[in-house]
Structure 1
């Protein structure tokens, strides 16, 4: 039963090709922990956007592999496959987690969330009262880019046409 997406060897290659020295400077247990946290984060953030359904239903720990899954270009994804995009997104997110464990899933108190709205005189403005935890979650542009060929865009709307 896989606890994370990808492999340590493939993660090492991914980070070496990108010159991400902190990955090479860490230990295998640190890397494995970062991969587990990154995989959990990906599943939690992207679960509603993944195509298809879990191949192993509820007994399956990770969201992938999946059945009835297609990529953004409508190419079928095998029911025993974890797409390369998911593995690469895991490696990208794991680097963030390696540098600062827990940074992908920060605790937030929505009623106390605020943004800096003026620098001169330092003015903080509370976020709207209907902000959600999703509004406060970090967005990793590299992960979004890597997954773009697999998932639809956030907030995409499908239109139904009456025939």
Structure 2
């Protein structure tokens, strides 16, 4: 099993972005590495269906990148065996979330049992979220969506070419 990026590059990334929690006192490299592993798994789990190209190492490859025959959202080729900077940055952002709150990117939930409101007055009143999907219970890191927007294919909806005869 692998993870995206390196501890040194993650430290530099978070220092530049002012994310002090990454280098906070008492946080160990073991904790940071574990966060990178969890973040990399969550990143691939959430976005790999939209990655362009195909895995360079086939099914035996642990992570979704590097890939071959890949192009970015603009149609520019991504060098074979390259892990794009967008993937590394997204992994570092997700690793920060995992470091601060381990397991937060892939929580264990029971659909229909997630509390949306709890009130205590004369009696306890609890309201649960309706059915929904497990993926709807995951946090959304909009910064990751923003970082990956230039890499992942844009969803343009269905299109049909018409031919007039």
> Could you say whether these structures have the same fold, taking a TM-score greater than 0.5 normalized by the shorter chain as the test?
yes
Do the aligned partners of 2:22 and 2:96 also contact (CA within 8 Å) in 1? yes
The residue that corresponds to 1:159 in the other structure is 159
Uncovered stretches (5+) of structure 1, i.e. residues with no partner: none
Pick closer, same or farther for the CA change 1:123–1:77 going to 2, 3 Å.
Answer: farther
Shift of 1:112: 1.6
Question: What RMSD, in angstroms, separates the aligned Cα atoms of the two structures?
Answer: 2.4
- The count of aligned residue pairs is 159
> For the residues of structure 1 that align with 2:158 and 2:9, how far apart are their CA atoms?
36
The residue that corresponds to 2:109 in the other structure is 108
The residue that corresponds to 2:48 in the other structure is 47
Residues 3-61 of structure 1: per-residue CA shift (max 9 Å, x gap): 11111111111000112112112221111111111000000000111111111110100
Pick closer, same or farther for the CA change 1:158–1:74 going to 2, 3 Å.
Answer: farther
Shift of 1:114: 4.6
The residue that corresponds to 1:18 in the other structure is 17
> For the residues of structure 2 that align with 1:34 and 1:114, how far apart are their CA atoms?
27
The residue that corresponds to 1:4 in the other structure is 3
Superposition map of 1:48-87 within 5 A: 48-87=49-88
> For the residues of structure 2 that align with 1:104 and 1:146, how far apart are their CA atoms?
17
